[in-house]
Amino acid sequence: MSLNTLFYRFLFCLSLILASIFAAIWFSTFHPADSQQERIYCPQNAPTLSAGQSIKVYNQNVQFMAGKNYVFFYDLPNSTGPDERPSASDINATLNGLAGLIKQQDPDIILLQEVDDGAKRTDHADQLAQLLALLPAEYACHASSIYWQAAYLPHPRIMGAVGTKLSIISKYQISSATRIQLSLIPQDPITQLFNLKRALLDVRLPIKGAAELAVLNTHLSAFAKGTGTLDKQMTKINQRLTSLNQAKKPWLLGGDFNLLPPNSYPLLATGQQAYYEASSAITTLYQQHLAIPTLEATQSKERHRWFTYFPNNTHIKQPDRTLDYFFYSSQLTAHNAFVEQQKSLTLSDHMPLIASFTLP
């Protein structure tokens, strides 16, 4: 057999091996469509919103129910944080603490980010199901969108399954749920297959005597500085909101935006500025839509009342920045908005933003 024949056979076998590896990675990772319908869980006897009704909305990144006893590897530069996962007892304590806080606040609609589902770090549990089991039965309607999923992630600090989702829980009827894919951080093709697929979850709640309310939930990219990713994600979200305005549909958007308020970069401690752009991409939404907190509130001497983020860092002793927001349609009237900074301090690195809105 000639050397040329051996060489080509070697190339052929190598190609088969590489193709098999790529296929295995592809089929074990998550590949959402640009837009797709999500499954709704809602009994037919759930009540329906009414025109003119006031609703209370709760928004929080629950940090996979880990609590505040950890500094995870990604919390510090160069993945130097000491911790990889929370203990089962801490997860359980956080779930019960979160359920207790929700019951105390008694919101009508709950927006949650970073809810684990099938992840090794949280014992492969469906955390939404665990939370719902602790809440009153009236929280019967919900929908979710996965934005991180892989059967096995070969990261040295993970080495197992990952699964994280956005969830919206409601006391009231949900008629549809749509997942909209947002821009990805530019990376090599293999890394991008394993990385998070950030999304916007758009859930519709029918209103008696009117059309419907659009409730949107998102969690934008972290560690994306200098890539333009957050600008692209913000553009996609703003296009959705503009479309809702043009259709004269009332809407409400909440989430963890991983963005400072406009003009707030100089107000953050120098050591923490490295994670953010000096000019925040969220300015687009502040310029075109109503916001909680207001721009004035984020610049005032009382801005600490609107801090929603308490970093997992032993050198930082209290919440120090705003990363979580509500934006809402001019058809809604907002009142009684606040950040719960007492009972939530031990539950997550994010504090819940809570507000009431009157429907048209």
CA distances from 313 to 47, 82, 117, 308, 342 (A): 43, 11, 26, 15, 19
Q: Do 8 and 154 share a domain, yes or no?
A: no
Q: Is the separation of the CB atoms in 328 and 289 below 8 Å? A: yes
Q: Do 51 and 99 share a domain, yes or no?
A: yes
pLDDT for 344 equals: 98
Q: Do 281 and 292 share a domain, yes or no?
A: yes
CATH code where residue 90 lies: 3.60.10.10
* Token code pair at residue 353: 């933003």
Q: What is the pTM of this model?
A: 0.95
Q: How many domains does the chain have?
A: 2
- Distance (Å, rounded) from C-alpha 194 to C-alpha 91? 25
170 membership: H or E segment, kind and range: strand 160-170
- What confidence tens digit (pLDDT) does each residue in 170-219 have? 999 999 999 999 999 999 988 999 999 999 999 999 999 888 999 999 99
DSSP state of 274: G
Helices marked H in the chain: 3-27, 88-105, 127-132, 189-194, 229-246, 283-288, 295-299
Rg of the chain on CA atoms, in Å: 22
User: Tokens 């707030």 appear where?
Assistant: 264
Q: Do 12 and 119 share a domain, yes or no?
A: no
Q: How many residues comprise the chain?
A: 360
Q: Do 126 and 23 share a domain, yes or no?
A: no
pLDDT for 8 equals: 59
Of 86, 167, 170, 89, residue with least CA distance to 129: 167
How many H helices and E strands in the chain? 7, 15
Q: Do 10 and 67 share a domain, yes or no?
A: no
The residue range of the domain holding 57 is 33-358
Q: Do 193 and 307 share a domain, yes or no?
A: yes
Q: Do 114 and 163 share a domain, yes or no?
A: yes
pLDDT for 13 equals: 75
- 3-class DSSP state for residue 94? helix
* Token code pair at residue 72: 């995870």
Q: List, for the chain, all residue ranges whose pLDDT scores fall below the cut of 50.
A: none
User: Tokens 């009540």 appear where?
Assistant: 47
- Measured at the alpha carbon of residue 295, what is the angle toward residues 289 and 299, in degrees to the nearest 5? 170
Q: Do 1 and 141 share a domain, yes or no?
A: no
Q: Do 23 and 148 share a domain, yes or no?
A: no
Q: Do 19 and 136 share a domain, yes or no?
A: no
Tell me which amino acid residue 200 is. L
Residue 302: exposure state from Cβ atoms within 10 A (0-12, 13-18, ≥19): exposed
pLDDT for 268 equals: 94
- What confidence tens digit (pLDDT) does each residue in 229-276 have? 999 999 999 999 999 999 999 999 999 999 999 999 999 999 899 999
Q: Do 265 and 227 share a domain, yes or no?
A: yes
